[in-house]
Amino acid sequence: MIHIPTLQMLAGAMTLILLASPLAAENTIAGPNATAKQANAGVTRKVVAYVPNWIDLATFAQTIDYARLTHINIAFENPTNDRDDLSFDQKNDALLTQAHAHHIPVLLSIGGGSAAGDKVLLKRYADLLGNAKRAGFAAKIAAYVAQHNFDGLDVDLEGPAIGKDYGAFIHDLAQALRPQGKLLTAALSQGYGGSSVPNSVFEQLDFVNIMAYDAVGNWAPNTPGQHSSLEFAKSNVDYWLKRGLAKSKAVLGVPFYGYGFGAAFRKGDYSYKEIIKAFPGAQDTDQVGNTIWYNGIPTIKAKAAYVKERELGGIMIWSLDYDVKGEYSLLSAIYATLRP
């Protein structure tokens, strides 16, 4: 994701007719070749959750409220050498098993902040996406997705990682993944590489996770404020829709984290669950202490309501492990708002 703290972190086949869960309405996955029923569509739009694979996935997979999700993206795996071999964390299997048992499709996410901030990885992607290696790299990714029982691929290349070959890469990935019935999505940011993304990719992608956060952050400690306001979310959505992205493919990204400024400044982020634990009542506001800015329940609900009003494709979460259980859960707030 554009989520900057990822710069500090390392980076079979299903037909897409998925069994319904207790949430029982129908929703379609927009794609160039076909539509398919989507699991858990009692939320009538997508709820896509990123889950990082540097946490204890075996334990976390047991705690997820799968009935409130429609897709999970495991973040991240990346090429480990110039021969296009991809890493695979064995911990991924625990989440894949649990999610599939609940009929939730799981996508592999490649890239992340590390791909944009790591000079070695940035150079490696540029080389693999070039004309000489791109088609082979795309084919190898498609084989990897099938081998490890993923249901699709999410491309989270950002900033300088989005070069002149990005559009051709998406095209080649679509050519390799479609025959397997796999999903192809992307995470995109207006302000961090968005202008380098060609409009031609919209037809190839099943949907786009719009990273409408990180307007400010710990990389600019002297510019405090809200990094993901409702207004910022709306402007990001408008940007992509005006460029030709279909509403049904526009999935609004929301943050389950915040940033500290002033006395609260630190190099990392603040997870929502950490904020809630430290500041009673923090779930009902967007600003606490001196000073942490984030999204509380009212703002998350407002964004979910906006998704319904604009008839967008759904909501994306970065990242699910930052949520809490019970009445203060942001995922529960999304679910309650998106239900018909």
Mean pLDDT calculated for residue range 255-282: 98
- Give the model's confidence band at 113: pLDDT under 50 very low, under 70 low, under 90 confident, else very high: confident
Per mean pLDDT, which range of 20-29, 250-259, 323-332 is the poorest? 20-29
Upper half-sphere CA count for residue 4 (Cβ side, 13 Å): 18
Residue 52's DSSP bridge partners are 75
Residues with Cβ within 8 Å of residue 309, at least 6 apart in sequence: none
Asked whether 33 and 182 are in contact (CB, 8 A), the reply is no
67-81 confidence digits (pLDDT tens): 999 999 999 999 999
The tokens of 70 are what?
A: 């429609």
3-state secondary structure the chain: CCCHHHHHCCCCCCCCCCCCCCCCCCCECCCCCCCCECCCCCCCCEEEEEEECCCCHHHHCCCCCHHHCCEEEEEEECECCCCCCECCCCCHHHHHHHHHHCCCCEEEEEECHHHHHCHHHHHHHHHHCCCCCHHHHHHHHHHHHHHCCCCEEEEECCHHHCCCCHHHHHHHHHHHHHHHCCEEEEEECCCCCHHHCCCCHHHHCCEEEECCCCCCCCCCCCCCCCCCCHHHHHHHHHHHHHCCCCHHHEEEEEECEEEECHHHCCCCCEEHHHHHHHCCCHHHCCEECCCEECCCHHHHHHHHHHHHHHCCCEEEEECHHHCCCHHHCHHHHHHHHHCC
- Give the model's confidence band at 9: pLDDT under 50 very low, under 70 low, under 90 confident, else very high: very low
Mean pLDDT calculated for residue range 139-156: 98
- Give the model's confidence band at 39: pLDDT under 50 very low, under 70 low, under 90 confident, else very high: low
Per mean pLDDT, which range of 36-50, 156-170, 183-197 is the poorest? 36-50
- Give the model's confidence band at 100: pLDDT under 50 very low, under 70 low, under 90 confident, else very high: very high
Q: Is the whole-model pTM more than 0.75?
A: yes
Closest CA to 45 of 213, 247, 322: 247
207-266 confidence digits (pLDDT tens): 999 999 999 999 999 999 999 999 999 999 999 999 999 999 999 999 999 999 999 999
- Give the model's confidence band at 40: pLDDT under 50 very low, under 70 low, under 90 confident, else very high: low
- Look at residue 28 and tell me whether its pLDDT is greater than 80: no
- Look at residue 2 and tell me whether its pLDDT is greater than 70: no
Per mean pLDDT, which range of 10-19, 114-123, 272-281 is the poorest? 10-19
Per mean pLDDT, which range of 113-117, 178-182, 313-317 is the poorest? 113-117
Closest CA to 44 of 19, 22, 71, 26: 26
- Give the model's confidence band at 1: pLDDT under 50 very low, under 70 low, under 90 confident, else very high: low
User: Mean pLDDT in the chain?
Assistant: 90
pLDDT at position 37 is: 40
Rg, Å, the chain Cα set: 19
Per mean pLDDT, which range of 39-43, 87-91, 274-278, 316-320 is the poorest? 39-43
- Which residue in this structure is represented by tokens 């490649």? 110
Backbone phi, psi, residue 281, to 5°: 85, 0
pLDDT at position 4 is: 43
Residues with Cβ within 8 Å of residue 282, at least 6 apart in sequence: 275, 276, 288, 296
Distance CA 92, CA 74 (A): 7
Closest CA to 10 of 84, 97, 120, 95: 120
pLDDT at position 44 is: 77
pLDDT at position 169 is: 98
Mean pLDDT calculated for residue range 165-173: 98
198-216 confidence digits (pLDDT tens): 999 999 999 999 999 999 9
Which domains does the chain possess? 4-256+296-338 (3.20.20.80)
Asked whether 179 and 146 are in contact (CB, 8 A), the reply is no
